[in-house]
Amino acid sequence: MESFLIAARAVHYASSISLAGVFAFISFVAIPEISPRLGQRLSMLAWASLVLAVLSGGAWLVFVAAQMSGQPVAATVSQGLVAIVLQRTRFGQVWMVRAVLAVILAALLSLPRGWRGRLWNWGGLAFAAGLLASLAWAGHGGATPGRPGDLHLAADMLHLLAAGAWVGSLIPLALFLAGAWQNADPGARTLRRVVTRYSVLAATSVGVLFAGGLANTWFLAGSTPALIGTDYGRLLLAKVAIFVTMVTIGSVNLLRMLPRLAPTAAEGAPRQRAALSHLRRNALVEAGLGLAVLGIVAVLGILPPGLHTEPGWPLPFRLELAALEPAAIAALAIFAALAVICAIIGVATAAAGRYRAMAAAWASLIICVAAGVFTARPAIAPAYPTSFYAPAEPYSAPSVAQGARLYTESCAVCHGANGKGDGPAAQVSPIRPADLTAPHLFAHTPGDLFWWVSHGKANGAMPGFAAVMSPADRWDVINFVRARAAGVLSQKLGPEIATTAAPAVPDFAFETQNGQQTLHRLLRNGPVLLVLCEAPPSAARLAQLDAVQRGSGAAPLRVIVVDLAAQAMSRAETAPSPPPVAISPDVTATLKLFRTPADGPETDLMLDRAGNVRARWATGKGGVPDAETLAKDAYMAAQIPASPENHAGHIH
């Protein structure tokens, strides 16, 4: 049934666009030049488009109703489910409005010729445009909530209207050119005027289509991985490629054929006729390509957008822009801009038949690309199909604790109990197992690690675990490996607030006097000081920390005191302030990754709003900070923007 739905959508888009295109052609391109014969043909085209639009729109509605109810199509119709969809859903309401528009258009088209004037043209254009633009509600734009949704909807409408004006008026243009061809004397001046006006309409529409397409891509694909890694994104790219081909054909028409329509000496006539048939053929080719685009649009509408599917990365490498100096990124942007300019000049010169200039433009383009690749070299990292998967298990204490158990079972033989790569099997391994606590671990995306844990590494020196561990287990073990490396890495931090990204503490839940809380929820208010102790802190220290929390410093600082030696879930009877929070054994195990025995009784971690460790103090390493230091550092930590997707830095 899905393929029927796609077909109905494609036909409906095409016919709605064709209908709007007829009126756009009459109103913007050909008003005074329409011969009665052309008028009749356009009228027939409009009728055919309207009838097709009504039939395909009806089929679309029935298929949607069947999909919503889960019933077969026949039952959907016989049980009156279509009526329910019409009345109860927004899709149905939009369809009712569109049905009214279709009736009005039918009435307009039935008016006898004598009644048709300018008002008729513009009225028809308005209603046909309404019929077309309201299709935006049936797409993804209608599903985006809030203000961005309104913008998205508006962008979609403009996009549809521009498509109608450009692609929809191609067939009327071809009809016009055919008429001119049959008339032995096409009337060169008229011809030129119409073609020029059409070109202006087409160029304007192409600009709008391009802008709307950019907005749409931004809303729906969202990222490069989503663009080239999902079916949705790849179809979108195919659509863009066809669009570019259409624009190229259009510019050839404009630049090469238009001048040949000029009235010249007597010998000009055959040349003119050749140009005429050329133009007509190109218009039909463009219309055919337009149909292909609409087929793609029909499929896109029923696929989940790129943002909502896991992108399978198709390339063996990826670009890690964060690894580049700002100057290199600026240079890349310049090369990219130059390459686009060269490509435009290349197409334009080709269209104008200036082949030497074209060759120069393409050669410059190749040089720009080569320079870009050279500049980007340090940022080119190997990549795998799963490189851009987001972890399916959140980076949080329960997952980390589960991962720790799995690690001991499956990984410690090679990578060692502490992850240094010195397990018992390391001696016999042909390649030394990696040190999983090295900063280098964070040069890989979680998706890279997922690929290796699933499929192995280094020709089987590390085995793959896809057959023996569920995906959730694999994500758990990855979360553990990353948390442990974060713990080791954070030990390198000192009392100064680090400006480069530092590894993140996993999210965890804890119990205070006021109930359940989580680290991430607390971080929404600002930086957090995480105090990890091996014994209940002294009353004096707690009073000091309490003063920090209540202090009227420039930035609020929340304090979480955790007693890692306390019995699970117990809480001090006589609650000091702030009292140590109660945590589960999983949380205790996870937080212990951020301490070493050399720290002495207390370790303090300053977390920025993304949960990254920015500074670290320990009793055994220079002592713990006083209230004044904390207030100052909290202010600095609060200035650090919280980027939601911090893979704990890109430290190489």
**What are the backbone angles phi and psi of residue 160, rounded to the nearest 5°?**
-65, -45
Structure tokens at 33: 């030049």
Rule CB under 6 A: say whether 457 interacts with ligand HEC.
yes
Q: Which of residues 516-555 bind ligand HEC (CB under 6 A)?
A: none
Q: Are 507 and 397 in contact (CB under 8 A)?
A: yes
Buried-exposed string 388-400: b where 16+ CB fall within 10 A, e elsewhere: bbebebebbbbbb
Stretch that binds ligand HEC, among 27-35, 391-399, 410-418, 498-506 (CB under 6 A): 410-418
Task: Select 259 or 460, whichever has its Cβ closest to ligand HEC.
Answer: 460
Q: Is residue 182 exposed (0-12), middle (13-18) or buried (19+ Cβ within 10 Å)? A: exposed
Rule CB under 6 A: say whether 441 interacts with ligand HEC.
yes
* Rounded least distance, CB 473 to ligand HEC, Å: 9
Task: Select 53 or 481, whichever has its Cβ closest to ligand HEC.
Answer: 481
* Rounded least distance, CB 310 to ligand HEC, Å: 20
Task: Select 339 or 414, whichever has its Cβ closest to ligand HEC.
Answer: 414
Task: Select 174 or 414, whichever has its Cβ closest to ligand HEC.
Answer: 414
Rule CB under 6 A: say whether 582 interacts with ligand HEC.
no
Rule CB under 6 A: say whether 481 interacts with ligand HEC.
yes
CA distance 386 to 134: 38
Q: Which of 82, 453, 532, 637 binds ligand HEC (CB under 6 A)?
A: 453
Stretch that binds ligand HEC, among 160-168, 332-340, 435-443, 522-530 (CB under 6 A): 435-443
Task: Select 440 or 550, whichever has its Cβ closest to ligand HEC.
Answer: 440
CA distance 369 to 361: 12
How many CB atoms lie under 10 A from the CB of residue 218? 13
Q: Which residues contact 194 (CB under 8 A, 6 or more apart)?
A: 29, 30, 33, 173, 176
Rule CB under 6 A: say whether 652 interacts with ligand HEC.
no
Task: Select 37 or 652, whichever has its Cβ closest to ligand HEC.
Answer: 652
Structure tokens at 240: 């863009």
Task: Select 464 or 601, whichever has its Cβ closest to ligand HEC.
Answer: 464
Buried-exposed string 202-212: b where 16+ CB fall within 10 A, e elsewhere: beebbebbeeb
CA proximity to 624, closest of 545, 527, 563, 565: 545
Task: Select 377 or 440, whichever has its Cβ closest to ligand HEC.
Answer: 440
Stretch that binds ligand HEC, among 461-469, 574-582, 603-611, 632-640 (CB under 6 A): 461-469
How many CB atoms lie under 10 A from the CB of residue 295? 20
Rule CB under 6 A: say whether 285 interacts with ligand HEC.
no
How many CB atoms lie under 10 A from the CB of residue 492? 11
Residue the block writes with tokens 């258009």: 105
* Rounded least distance, CB 229 to ligand HEC, Å: 21
* Rounded least distance, CB 414 to ligand HEC, Å: 3
Rule CB under 6 A: say whether 465 interacts with ligand HEC.
yes
How many CB atoms lie under 10 A from the CB of residue 156? 24
CA distance 246 to 285: 8
* Rounded least distance, CB 463 to ligand HEC, Å: 6
Rule CB under 6 A: say whether 482 interacts with ligand HEC.
no
Characterise 326 by phi-psi region: left (phi > 0), alpha (psi -120 to 50), beta (else). Answer: alpha
How many CB atoms lie under 10 A from the CB of residue 216? 20
Stretch that binds ligand HEC, among 2-10, 345-353, 429-437, 617-625 (CB under 6 A): 429-437
Stretch that binds ligand HEC, among 100-108, 162-170, 242-250, 457-465 (CB under 6 A): 457-465
Q: Which of 111, 143, 370, 425 binds ligand HEC (CB under 6 A)?
A: 425
CA distance 203 to 564: 69
CA proximity to 233, closest of 255, 216, 245, 257: 216
Characterise 611 by phi-psi region: left (phi > 0), alpha (psi -120 to 50), beta (else). Answer: left
CA distance 652 to 650: 6
Task: Select 90 or 492, whichever has its Cβ closest to ligand HEC.
Answer: 492
Q: Which of 137, 232, 395, 452 binds ligand HEC (CB under 6 A)?
A: 452
Task: Select 449 or 493, whichever has its Cβ closest to ligand HEC.
Answer: 449
Q: Which of 16, 272, 410, 437 binds ligand HEC (CB under 6 A)?
A: 410
Q: Are 396 and 508 in contact (CB under 8 A)?
A: yes
Q: Which of 194, 449, 545, 631 binds ligand HEC (CB under 6 A)?
A: 449
Q: Which of 221, 228, 247, 414 binds ligand HEC (CB under 6 A)?
A: 414
CA 266-267-268 angle, 5° bins: 85
* Rounded least distance, CB 431 to ligand HEC, Å: 4
Q: Which of 411, 530, 566, 630 binds ligand HEC (CB under 6 A)?
A: 411
Rule CB under 6 A: say whether 429 interacts with ligand HEC.
yes
Rule CB under 6 A: say whether 466 interacts with ligand HEC.
no
Question: How far, CA to CA in Å, does 455 sit from each of 166, 212, 461, 645?
Answer: 50, 41, 11, 25
Rule CB under 6 A: say whether 488 interacts with ligand HEC.
no
Task: Select 90 or 652, whichever has its Cβ closest to ligand HEC.
Answer: 652
Q: Which residues bind ligand HEC (CB under 6 A)?
A: 410-411, 413-415, 425, 429, 431, 433-434, 436, 440-441, 449, 452-453, 457-458, 461-463, 465, 477, 481
